[in-house]
Amino acid sequence: MDKKKRYIAAKTNRKRKQSRIKAIVIILFFILGLIFIYSMAKKKIGPSQEKPIEAVGKEEKKEEEEVDKKIEEEKENLEEEKPVTFNDKLKLIEDYPRFLKEMAERYPETIDFVIKYPERNLDPSKIDISHDYVTGEVPLFIQWDDRWGYMPFIESIVGISGCGPTALSMAYTGLTGDLSMDPYKMSQYAEQNGYGVINEGSTWDLFQKGATDLGLTSEMIYVDNNIFKESLDQGKYIVLNVGPGDFTNGGHFILVVDYNEEGYKVHDSNSLINSAKTWTFDSLMPQIKAAWALGK
């Protein structure tokens, strides 16, 4: 009897095991079927739709960069096809006042200043030279700077006739650190004290009595290489009145601010180009009419 019971129990266990194996096999076939269907669907959809979000974002960014690059290339091509020459700019000022057209023709560096004349600033309160000044250095002021170049000066404007006040403004600011006498304020000082002459500009007195009244020292010096260097070594700046030549077709004031073994550094209020050059004494000497050493 016991043997019969054990036989029945063993048979029952085998059936259970066989049922579990069949279930596992069915599940495995089901999983393999899903994998097969998924792989077939993937082939039909194509790999591009299976890309992760990061890859898609990188591709979009790359496309945007390519579009931006093409736009920049088109801009460059347009600029090359339609260059804005000096003569093109002159055509823009055909209806401007004659004195402005003559200014642009005589001094090509001023052409953009002339073009912007209709939008000129005539508000002195907008003038700020705090960013131009560095302690211990003399600033470079350009007389046709938008900030003051359109301001009136002896029946003209600072941009045309204000080389004298602009030169003195540079020297004064560099020597004192006082930012109150910008080129417009200095031109008003010159005109109010009789140092301005209609159709000529500034008188020599501006750099003599005019300078000393502002608290500076002023000495008229010989046009001599050694004297120039000695004055600069003493911390002074030299104002030069020059005639026709490299700096002007008429009369002009420039400021000598430093020297080295190659020559002199000049701040020419009418030319950024001249101000970037180094000038030998021999190149300056024939053009100099007078010289003043200004100190504090």
CATH number of the CATH domain containing 138: 3.90.70.10
Q: What is the pLDDT of residues 115-147, one digit of tens each?
A: 999 999 899 999 999 999 999 999 999 999 999
Other CB atoms within a 10 A radius of the CB of residue 172 amount to: 27
Q: Is 16 part of any domain?
A: no
**CB neighbour list of residue 292: distance below 8 Å, 6 or more residues apart:** 207, 208, 211, 218, 219, 220, 221, 238, 239
Per the prediction, the chain carries an average pLDDT of: 85
In this structure, the strands spanning 152-153 and 237-242 are: unpaired
Burial of 111 (0-12, 13-18, 19+ CB in 10 A): middle
pLDDT confidence of residue 19 = 63
Residue 36 pLDDT level (bands cut at 50, 70, 90): low
Amino acid, single-letter form, for residue 255: L
Parent domain of 104:
75-119
pTM: 0.72
Number of domains present in the structure of the chain: 2
What integer pLDDT is reported at residue 47 of this predicted model? 47
pLDDT in tens, 185-200: 999 999 999 999 887 8
Looking at per-residue confidence, does 26 or 194 come out higher? Answer: 194
Task: List the one residue out of 128, 179, 178, 187 whose CA is nearest residue 152.
Answer: 187
Q: Is residue 64 part of a domain?
A: no
Q: Which of 171, 177, 109, 118 is CA-nearest to residue 144?
A: 109
Answer yes or no: do 101 and 173 share one domain.
Answer: no
Q: Is residue 59 one of the residues assigned to a domain?
A: no
CA-CA distance, 63 to 50, in Å (whole number)?
A: 19
Over 50: is that where the pLDDT of 45 sits? no
Nearest to 253, CA basis, from 274, 224, 282 = 274
Answer yes or no: do 111 and 127 share one domain.
no
Confidence (pLDDT) at 74: 55
Rounded to 10°, the helix 183-192/163-176 angle is 120
Q: Does residue 138 sit in helix, strand or coil?
A: coil
Same domain, 112 and 135: no
3-state DSSP helix/strand/coil % of the chain, to nearest 5: 55, 15, 30
Query: Residue holding tokens 């045309």?
Result: 160
Spatial distance between the Cα atoms of 205 and 201, rounded to a whole number of angstroms? 12
Length in residues, the chain: 296
239 and 187 belong to one structural domain: yes
User: Quick one: which of 138, 139, 137, 160 has its CA closest to 148?
Assistant: 160
169 with 287, same domain: the answer is yes
For the ranges 63-72, 210-219, 247-256, which has the lowest average pLDDT?
63-72
Residues 81 and 132 in one domain: no
In this prediction, residue 166 carries a pLDDT of 98
Q: In the listed set 119, 142, 177, which residue is the last one of a domain according to the structure?
A: 119
CB atoms within 10 A of CB 129: 19
Domain check: are 94 and 159 in the same one?
Answer: no
